[in-house]
Copies of this chain bind each other. A is one copy, B any other.
Amino acid sequence: MKIGKRTIKLETSPSITGFAAVAGKKEGQGPLGKEFDYLYPDGLIGEKTFEKAESLMQKDAATRAIQKANLTPDKVNVAFAGDLLNQCIGSNYGLRDLNIPFVGLYGACSTMAESLLMASVFVDRGLASNALAVTSSHFCSAERQFRYPLEYGGQRTPTAQWTATASGAVVVSSSVQAPYVKGCCIGKIVDLGVKDINNMGAAMAPAAADTIHTFLQDTATDPQQYDKIVTGDLGQIGSNLLVQLLRQDGIDISANHEDCGLLLYDQETQDVHAGGSGCGCSAAVLCSILLKKIMAGVYRNVLFIATGALMSTVTNQQGESIPGIAHLVHLSSDRWEEK
């Protein structure tokens, strides 16, 4: 059933039967360090390159999530995955050996929500019994692809965010156990003309506002009906802008809004400037405390909105602005009541 303009209600309330987050050393030293399934001691993880290390992280997260769902890869009907690297090599090589039917996605840092949304829709509509959603980012592979060689040590602006070294994976199944996925809202590409690639939060905030506004309108619900409204990686600046943009629309999320980019690191001590970012940032937060708290019933209803900046170094060099996108997933400790 579609509700309103864009919101999809998942009538069967698909279950999240397995989830896992793996992360790097710096992420392990942050406030969520103890919540992750595995922490790598260094950035290469025994591989020869950072890109191979990122692939390994995705494979690791996916394998752990599948195991925690008491499944084997051959029982997973479809995998939705993507990442920030050119041609999404983190996913393509990371999931290569799992032999699972594969739908490659590109949603930049919105990928955790995009993949979870697709996996949930596939299970809800009987297209899959078990579906996998996975994504990753790696500080070193992202930094050298999007910005400067690591050795250069370029100074970062106060608005810049820190790309997380992390991967998160979720298995969605047609089962009856919390957490449940009750609905979702596919994002639109929103571009208000921000051109500063050192301020991704500002570029993505309008897309998050658009998706949250649409979802609340479609479902005729208020922010207060959700324990948490958790955005992906807007960081400090993007988060402030999001609250401000929604306030202009008469929506106040300030009491229950949190941002994964502000949860992953200690803003005081870890020198990440405006916060964390990267596909792995929201993935690692979702696949650790967020899903654990929903499973335990600490949070009953959570909106998870991962945000992505859909630019490339080429579009930036050609003077283009940065389009943003935000996909939303409604997670809950309860199912929809059966009629």
Looking at A147-155, A242-250, A258-266, A313-321, the stretch in contact with chain B turns out to be: A313-321
Looking at A31-39, A81-89, A158-166, A270-278, the stretch in contact with chain B turns out to be: A81-89
A187 at the interface (CB under 8 A from B): yes
Cβ-defined contact, A93 with B323, below 8 A: yes
**Distance from A107 Cβ to chain B, minimum over Cβ atoms (Å):** 5
**Distance from A305 Cβ to chain B, minimum over Cβ atoms (Å):** 14
A108 at the interface (CB under 8 A from B): yes
Q: What CA separation (Å) do A278 and B118 show in the bound complex?
A: 26
Contact of A315 among B51, B77, B318 (CB under 8 A): B51
Q: What CA separation (Å) do A2 and B130 show in the bound complex?
A: 13
Q: What CA separation (Å) do A92 and B311 show in the bound complex?
A: 8
Q: What CA separation (Å) do A318 and B93 show in the bound complex?
A: 12
Closest chain B residue to A6 by CB distance?
B101
Q: What CA separation (Å) do A299 and B101 show in the bound complex?
A: 29
Interface residues of A in 81-122 (CB under 8 A from B): 82, 84-89, 92-93, 95-96, 99-108, 114, 118, 121
**Residues in B neighbouring A2, C-beta threshold 8 A:** 77, 126-128
Cβ-defined contact, A104 with B114, below 8 A: yes
Cβ-defined contact, A318 with B51, below 8 A: yes
Cβ-defined contact, A89 with B188, below 8 A: no
Q: A102-B187, A102-B189, A105-B105 are in contact. List 18 more A-B contacts (CB 8 A).
A: A2-B77, A49-B318, A51-B318, A84-B87, A86-B313, A86-B314, A87-B310, A87-B312, A89-B312, A96-B189, A101-B186, A102-B188, A103-B105, A103-B107, A103-B186, A104-B105, A104-B106, A106-B106
Binding site for B on A (CB under 8 A): 1-2, 6, 8, 48-49, 51-52, 77-78, 82, 84-89, 92-93, 95-96, 99-108, 114, 118, 121, 125-128, 145, 186-189, 191, 310-315, 318, 320, 323, 325
